[in-house]
Structure formats: C-alpha cells, structure tokens
Structure 1
Amino acid sequence: MKICFATSSGGHLTHLVLLEKWYKNHDRFWVTFNKEDAKTVLADEKKFFCYYPTNRSIKNLVKNSILAFRLILKERPDVIISTGAGVAVPFFYIGKLFGCKTIYIEVYDRINIPTLTGKLVYPITNKFIVQWESQLKFYKNATLIGQIV
C-alpha cells in the first residue's frame, strides 16, 4: 500500500507523524508546506511542497489542484490521509477521480465546531475519523478513535 499524507505543517503535520508506528512499514510520501518545521520533521521522508497559504486562496487552490493531479498520476497512491487543512481538499477530490481511498482525521483542537476542511471533504471521504465524541454530531458516519498520542 502506498500512502500520500497531504497536510499543512505545524499541528496538522504533528498529528500525522504521531501515527509513525502504523505507517513506518508502508511506502509513503508527504505533501506539505515548505516551512522549517516540516523540513525538519520530514528530513528523511519523501516529500513534496505545496502552495500556501491555503486559507481561502483561490489562486493556491488552483495551484494545489494542478500539483495534486501531477503527483497522484506520478506517485499512484492507494490512499490519501490528512488532518487538514486546505491542502487536503484538492488532494481528496482529485484522488477520488483516480480511485484513491481517503482517510480524514478531524483535528484534536476542534471540540465543539467542525473545521471548514472537514466539512468540505466529509461527503467524499471513505473513512472520516474524529477524536472527540462531541464531533460526532457534525459527522454522523465518523469513527471515534479518541486522542492521537
């Protein structure tokens, strides 16, 4: 199985890195921001840098959609996993066009309100995961796993 991790840097990236015990034996690549934290944490990982800021930037949405199209064609991931934020949207939607499975993990710090990215990808995500029971009221078909530590 080949995994594409598409995520913002910072806390979003940290949440995915915490899953290392699960993904360490899988072929994988990362798509994230070209920032120091990401370069440091992913120093030994295969990575590609996307365009940011992603928050409500139509220009970067278009650029990241083109990037997603090219990378998915080139790398052929079986599954795309994300904790957000905006970079997940083009990768999930374009990935679905190419038959990729998608897994979205709603961020830990959104206890009482859903994220914009979560709302945008929920309708097309194969497995939607939440870390708080209160998040289930926004995502009826989500799977509650508790805190990622």
Structure 2
Amino acid sequence: MSKYKILMTGGGTGGHVIPNLALIPRLQQEDFDIFYIGSINGIERKLIEETGIKYHPISSGKLRRYFDIKNFTDPFKVVKGLSQAFFIIKKEKPDVVFSKGGFVAVPVVIAASMLKIPVVAHESDITPGLANKLSQPYVSKLCVTFPESIKYVKDNKGVVTGTPIREELFKGNAEKALKFLNFTGKKPVILIMGGSLGSKVINESIRNNLDLLTSRYDIVHLCGKGNLDDSLNGKQGYRQFEYINEELKDIMALSSMIITRGGSNSLFEILALKKPNIIIPLSRAASRGDQILNAASFEKSGYSIVIQEEELNSNILLNKINLLEEKKATYINNMRESKLQGAIDKIVNIIKESIKDKR
C-alpha cells in the first residue's frame, strides 16, 4: 500500500498538463498513489492515459474573458463538473490535490476544499491565469514560476519554485539528432520553435533569410501544423517539421541556439539546458500578454535576447543572431547561476508539507 494518495488535475492545453507529467515519476518514487481528474475530450486525457494512471473525466466549461454565446451554457457544465469532482474525491480519498490550472481544474479545487483536502496549485506565467485566480481562495499554496509573480498571490500563499522539467529532456543525444536530420555536424545548429500552431511572422522571417542563415548554420524549423513549405524540401542545411515530439530532446541537445516563443514551459526547458536563445513572444493583439512578461523576465535576468513580434524583420533577426553568437558564453554563464531550477524537488516537498499540516 502506498504511503500517500494524490489527485492531480489540470488541462485544456499542453502547458496545463506537461508539468504534471514531469512531476509524476518523482511522485511515484516517493510512494504516491496517483489518480487524475481532467476533461472528457481535452489533450490531457490522452497524455495521462498513456502513462497508465487512473483517469476520471468530468464535465467542464471554458472560462472566457470575452463574450461568447457558450458563456450562458458553460456555467451549468461547471456546476455538473463540481458535483462529479466532489463524489470522485469523496470516493478516492486523496491526501492532497495538485492543480496545474486550466478550466477543468476549478471545480476540482473547489470540491477538494469543500472536503477539507489540502490543495497545492502551480502557475506557469508571471500573472495568474483566470483558472488560478478563481482557485486561489481554495488553495493552501500556489507555486509560481517567476519571482515577479509573488506580488499577485494573496495571503502569503505564494512560493517561487520554477516549473517542473521532464527528466527525459536531459537525456538528449546529439549524434542521434545528426543522423535523424541528415546534417554533417560541420555547422552549428539553430532550432526554431514557433509553437504547435506555428507563427506566420517567424516562419516568414526565417524563410526570407534562409540562404544567408544556411551559409553559416544548419536550421531545424518547427513551423506548426499546416505550415510546411514544400518548395524548400531538400534544401541543404534546412529541415522543417510541423511538430516534433520523440526526437525533440535529441535536437535540443544538438542545437547551439534556439529561437522560441515566450511560453514558460519552453523557456524553462531552455534555461535548464542552458541554451543561448532569442525569444519572440506572442503579441498583445493575440494574447493576454503573458508571453511578453515572461520574455521580459528572462531578458532582465540575462538569460535571453528578446525581439518583439511587431519589430521583427530580416535586419533585426540577423543582428540579434550575431549578437547572441558573440555573447553566448555570457548567457550560458547567467543561466548556470540561475536559482529558478530544481522545481520538482521544491514542489514535491511543498506537497508533502501540505499533507503533514493536514494531519
């Protein structure tokens, strides 16, 4: 029989489940029996069920800051989800709940609080998302990724932990990546990651400068679903993919430099691997601005060079790549000295302390 029992929740996007996947192996080592509550059709269901962990789907309504006709029906889904979560938790009797946020987590957190189960939550971005804002009154601790986040957490509940990083990421093999990509290894490699949906502005900037870039670097371009350019297939020193999963750790191990969006999971993976990087955050026109704040924090800490999406053009891109090449030793050293690492140990300790406090 396991020493502890933990309920994990979070979903809606990969960012709300991947940190949970990073925590699971350590929790299992610490003798936790784990079960998960997530949405019926969300990305988290497939990812969690693949691990063999018991998964309970519940009804969930999306939390929106904008007008949508579904705003009139989704509250009923949330109420139904709250009822379902309540009875699942009552039956499973966890010692603690860990929430990664997302709309499915809110009814779970509230139900756990009603049943006097301690809740530890985690926020990836500098400013809490809507789900974690709604959950805050019901949690005992809210782990945050950035030091700047503490001021947004009330009642002394905030703890700076960083974000959990998957252990497999540190097992990348550069030689395997060279073989997979069919590169010679004679030139440094730049990895471009524009997010799962890709970025038109980043894709165009890279492709408009391909001849110049491939004269000095080999380029791996993750361009997003539906964004492959067939005319570039076979171009020497350039490989494009809609998305990479299994081989990503090897490609990251091979890369000398990474150009990325400003999602916190990607940024903290790059920080953990100490890869010189350029961040091109999603603009405020297309987001709530969290990526801009994430990027500003990394720039201030000396981990990254930032280009705002609205300012991106061929000259700026090439100038910043040259600058990063010149100063890469400084950026690597700054990342080595970062205190925003070791999140898994910190979070597991907070989870265990929450159980002790309850007992």
- Fold match by TM threshold 0.5: yes
- 1:20 and 2:24 aligned: yes
CA distance in 2, matches of 1:64, 1:7: 13
| Percent identity for Structure 1 against Structure 2 | 27
Q: Check conservation: 1:51, 1:63, Cα contact below 8 A.
A: yes
Q: Structure 1 residues 36 and 138, CA, compared in 2 at 3 Å: closer, same or farther?
A: closer
Deviates more, 1:52-61 or 1:17-26: 52-61
Q: Which residue of 2 aligns with 1:148?
A: 164
CA distance in 2, matches of 1:127, 1:138: 13
SS at match of 2:149: helix
Determine which structure has more spread, i.e. the larger CA radius of gyration.
2
CA distance in 1, matches of 2:11, 2:163: 19
Q: Greater strand percent: which structure?
A: 1
* Bigger relative CO (Cα 8 Å, ≥ 6 apart): 1
* 1:75-104 CA-partner distances (Å, limit 9, x unpaired): 111111111112222211221221201000
Amino acid at match of 1:2: K
* 1:30-69 CA-partner distances (Å, limit 9, x unpaired): 1112347432442211001122343252021111111111
Please list every run of at least 4 consecutive aligned residues from structure 1 whose deviation after the TM superposition is greater than 4 angstroms. none
TM (normalized to structure 1)? 0.87
Q: Greater helix percent: which structure?
A: 2
Q: Which residue of 1 aligns with 2:225?
A: none
Match of 2:106 among 85, 89, 97: 89
Q: Which residue of 1 aligns with 2:117?
A: 100
TM (normalized to structure 2)? 0.38
- 1:4 and 2:11 aligned: no
Q: Check conservation: 2:39, 2:104, Cα contact below 8 A.
A: no
CA distance in 1, matches of 2:48, 2:9: 15
Q: Which runs of 5+ in 1 are unaligned?
A: none
CA distance in 2, matches of 1:147, 1:69: 28
SS at match of 1:18: helix
CA distance in 2, matches of 1:82, 1:127: 10
